[in-house]
A and B are shown apart, each in its own frame.
Chain A
Amino acid sequence: MDELIQAVTVAETPEQMVTAVKNLAAVKDPLAIPTLIAVFGYNNPAAAIVAAAGLTELGEIAVPQLLDQIDDYNYGARAYSIRTIAAIADPRALDILISTALTDFAPSVRRAAAKGLGNIHWQKLAPNEAEIAINRALETLLLICEDADWSIRYAAIVGLQALAKVAIVRSPISAKFQLMLTNDTEKAVRARIQLALAQ
């Protein structure tokens, strides 16, 4: 394990880095988590994608460190963290996904959070908690449907489409979709709503 971690830290070329990260992710050992998270900050997209897949594979056990080690100074790294957190879909990530979707300055990070908000494993929460959490996610996504950036609104629709699998929020979501079909200024956004309604 130490050797595998070492290999990531001493990799000299982007290709060596990808190989080292692949080898480290392959053992599926929780000890690899900090190193895999660190890879998000190396500005090596291929390696970051492998690291994200490895962390997603590890799942829930990686969540606390992922939440703890979000890089506030590197939006590229933050986008990978948020995507990974969204992919693991652990409800403990709800607060960070909400605050990111609402207030992060980087649109790429906000889009990842919006998409993730629709897919959380609500069943891992007690029923009364789940209802509160689902409604908070809904409220956030409805709010960013008003964003000035079309790509944020588009991501909100993708999030809402996933969230609509939950019966209790289906009706406000479809009401919002109908409203945006009439009012949204971007054809691309309206088309995505139609796709959501058709599925």
Chain B
Amino acid sequence: MIETSGEEYSVENAPNLTPEIAIANLQSSDLSLRYYAAWWLGKFRVSQPEAIDALIRALEDESDRTELGGYPLRRNAARALGKLGNLKAVPGLIKCLECSDFYVREAAAQSLAMLQDKTALPALIKLLDGGVDQAVQVPGFPHLAQPYTAVLEALGAMGATEAISLVQPFLNHPVPRLQCSAARAMYQLTQDSIYGELLVKTLATGDLKMRRVVLGDLGAIGYLAAAEAIAQAQVESSFKLIALKGLLEYQLPEQSDTFDISAPAIRIMNLIDSLL
């Protein structure tokens, strides 16, 4: 999942809140203030214990409901908790995977992927129940039965090799986006270039939106063989830069204050230079 919004329009979100006010606002009688505060705490990485606890409580909120039965505040709280990196949120997020609101389940899966806590794997794998046959659109909604993209990406990011046989069938799912998520996860779980090449092929064949998504996938898995294809892709340069940065980070040692930059890293940086 990549943030595709606004790279070319870097508007300063003037924060008119402080952490204390935002935490207090999570209890406000004004539901829109609560919703905004949950977003704000994640956006500005307010990770003090009071914020974490207040957001975990917000995962169980009953007062903010949409006409279709959704839980907007829970969605924002789940998204924020992924950004804040505190494992205390994991049990609450696992519980959210069973929420009736699709978007809460999606946000929870994405945040669990960020938190990288393997205790979440059984609950994530459970969302693949029924496999591709059950992965159909919910009548009247713009989404499938489960947030499969988020689940597959989480399984890949968390190295859930036990789920390979469940992920693989999604390579043939009728939704192209889902095929890519499956290829991305399969590459991470097997390191087999077959799956990286599936993504590279989509750079040439997919539409613009799809190409952007695939660039995000390639950056996330650091598939080095795609470097030149990324640089030449017919996509805005900002997406290529983010993808190449992902590739580059895979080529750099944890402690990059040494002076032995590898040849592949130099190759990637030369490509980045050419896109400036």
Contacts and interface: CB of A to CB of B under 8 A. Distances in A.
Interface string A170-199: 000000000001100011101110110110
Given A115-B276, A158-B273, A106 B245 contact: no
Interface of A: 45, 75, 105-108, 111-112, 114-115, 148-151, 154-155, 158, 181-182, 186-188, 190-192, 194-195, 197-198
A181 B257 contact: yes
Contacts of A194: 256, 259, 261
Contacts of B245: 150-151, 186, 188
23 contacts: A75-B8, A107-B8, A108-B8, A111-B237, A151-B238, A151-B245, A154-B272, A154-B276, A188-B252, A188-B272, A190-B256, A191-B248, A191-B256, A191-B261, A191-B265, A191-B269, A194-B259, A194-B261, A195-B261, A195-B266, A195-B269, A197-B259, A198-B259
Contact of B10 (A105, A154, A155, A188): A105
B7 interface: yes
Nearest to A147: B10
B257 A105 contact: no
B241 interface: yes
Nearest to B248: A188
Nearest to B236: A108
A114 B252 contact: no
Nearest to A149: B10
Given A106-B9, A150-B245, A151-B245, 15 more contacts: A107-B8, A108-B237, A108-B238, A111-B237, A114-B276, A154-B272, A154-B276, A188-B248, A188-B249, A188-B272, A190-B257, A191-B269, A192-B272, A195-B266, A198-B259
Interface of B: 7-10, 234, 236-238, 241, 245, 248-249, 252, 256-257, 259, 261, 265-266, 269, 272-273, 276
A138 B197 CA distance: 43
Contacts of B261: 191, 194-195, 198
Contacts of B256: 187, 190-191, 194
Contacts of A105: 8-10
A148 B43 CA distance: 14
A106 B8 contact: yes
A199 to B, nearest CB: 10
B168 to A, nearest CB: 32
Most chain A beta-carbon neighbours within 10 Å: one of B9, B249, B276:
B276
B238 A107 contact: yes
Contacts of A112: 276
Contacts of B10: 105, 107, 148-149
A155 to B, nearest CB: 5
A197 B257 CA distance: 12
A45 B241 CA distance: 17
Given A107-B238, A194-B256, A155 B8 contact: no
A187 B259 contact: no
A17 B195 CA distance: 37
Most chain B beta-carbon neighbours within 10 Å: one of A148, A182, A191:
A191
A181 B257 CA distance: 7
A138 to B, nearest CB: 18
B252 A187 contact: yes
Given A150-B245, A187-B256, A190-B257, A45 B234 contact: yes
A192 B269 CA distance: 7
Contacts of A187: 248-249, 252, 256
A67 B167 CA distance: 54
Contact of A111 (B249, B252, B266, B276): B276
Contacts of B9: 105-106
B276 A155 contact: yes
B104 to A, nearest CB: 30
A23 B236 CA distance: 26
Given A150-B245, A188-B248, A158 B276 contact: yes
A164 B237 CA distance: 26
Contacts of B241: 151
Nearest to A199: B266
Contacts of A197: 259
B242 to A, nearest CB: 8
